[in-house]
């Protein structure tokens, strides 16, 4: 993530961000996706709020030290450094383009259109909710754990509560999904119900209240392992739990 500062005042006006799946960040197996991990440390080096660029300097030595830390350090730090430098460059291009837009149109206009994009997405999801009914579903996984979801529609406020009560407690395996993954799965499902061609953005979630029990397999506590949560459990949340909560096995029911 990179702050974008106003060229006149120096105040932070925007942020740019780039997300990447790195080939290896350590862990007990190459690729950092061990099938039998039991703690998050076994899945790679933990990085929390690290300053990657300071005063225009890419902090390569400090990043290399971080990648070499922990019980299971990264196997190919050269590749990780190159990938991180590419992400920094991508953010810098975003900063350049935002400065160009604000010079051409003014910061207030750019902010306003960013709000318009989110407001439009919010209204599109509310129109979907206008046609949905309440639903619930429990999906039993192969290991005996369960994902339980209840979708409750409030017609007056044109909003919905997506609750996961009764979902299994966090697991000793790596099929736990961080709450951010669960939130992304909910966003994905409701975005697919919007038929218009809109960009994915935070506005899609404004009509939704997402309730995830702390300490469950969808909101595990440290040091729970989580690598299968992103690739396996997330699919169970979308394809097998949320869509079936609608009753037709594919998507929430329309009225």
52 and 145 housed in the same domain: no
11 and 49 housed in the same domain: yes
Radius of gyration of the chain (CA): 21
| pTM, entire model | 0.90
Helices (H) and strands (E) in the chain, counts: 7, 8
Contacts 24+ apart (CB under 8 A), 79-88: 79/22, 79/23, 79/24, 80/22, 80/23, 80/24, 80/25, 83/20, 83/22, 83/23, 84/52, 85/58, 86/20, 87/18, 87/20, 88/2, 88/52, 88/53, 88/58
198 and 98 housed in the same domain: no
* Residue 178 lies in domain: 135-245
240 and 140 housed in the same domain: yes
Q: Are 229 and 143 in contact (CB under 8 A)?
A: no
Domain assignment present for residue 251? The answer is no
Q: Where are the alpha helices (DSSP H) in 68-178?
A: 77-105, 107-129
Q: What is the pLDDT along the chain (255 residues), one digit of tens a residue?
A: 999 999 889 999 999 999 999 999 999 999 999 999 999 999 999 998 999 999 999 999 999 999 999 899 999 999 999 999 999 999 999 999 999 999 999 999 999 999 999 999 999 999 999 999 999 999 999 999 999 999 999 999 999 999 999 999 999 999 999 999 999 999 999 999 999 999 999 999 999 999 999 999 999 999 999 999 999 999 999 987 787 776 444 454 444
Domain assignment present for residue 121? The answer is no
How many domains, the chain? 2
Peptide linkage before 187 cis (omega within 30 of 0): no
140 and 240 housed in the same domain: yes
Question: Alpha carbon of 92 to those of 13, 39, 132: distances in Å?
Answer: 15, 35, 42
For 211, the enclosing helix (H) or strand (E) is strand 208-211
Domain assignment present for residue 189? The answer is yes
């Amino acid at each position: 993530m990179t702050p974008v500062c106003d060229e006149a005042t120096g105040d932070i006006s925007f942020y740019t961000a780039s997300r990447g799946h790195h080939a290896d960040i350590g862990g007990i197996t190459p690729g950092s996706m061990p099938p039998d991990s039991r703690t998050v440390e076994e899945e790679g080096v933990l990085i929390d709020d690290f300053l990657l660029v300071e005063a225009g300097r890419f902090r390569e030595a400090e990043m290399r030290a971080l990648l070499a830390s922990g019980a299971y350090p990264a196997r190919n730090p050269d590749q990780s450094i190159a990938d991180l430098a590419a992400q920094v460059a991508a953010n810098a291009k975003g900063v350049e383009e935002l400065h160009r837009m604000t010079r051409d149109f003014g910061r207030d206009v750019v902010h306003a259109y960013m709000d318009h994009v989110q407001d439009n997405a919010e209204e599109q999801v509310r129109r979907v909710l206008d046609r949905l009914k309440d639903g619930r579903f429990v999906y039993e996984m192969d290991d005996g754990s369960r994902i339980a979801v209840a979708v409750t529609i409030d017609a007056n406020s044109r909003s919905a509560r997506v609750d996961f009560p009764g979902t299994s407690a966090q697991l000793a395996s790596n099929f736990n999904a961080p709450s951010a993954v669960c939130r992304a799965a909910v966003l994905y499902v409701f975005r697919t119900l919007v038929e218009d061609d809109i960009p994915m953005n935070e506005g899609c979630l404004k009509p939704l209240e997402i309730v995830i029990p702390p300490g469950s397999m969808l909101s595990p506590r440290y040091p729970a392992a989580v690598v299968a949560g992103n690739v396996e459990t997330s699919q169970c949340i979308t394809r097998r739990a949320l869509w079936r909560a609608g009753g037709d096995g594919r998507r929430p029911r329309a009225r």
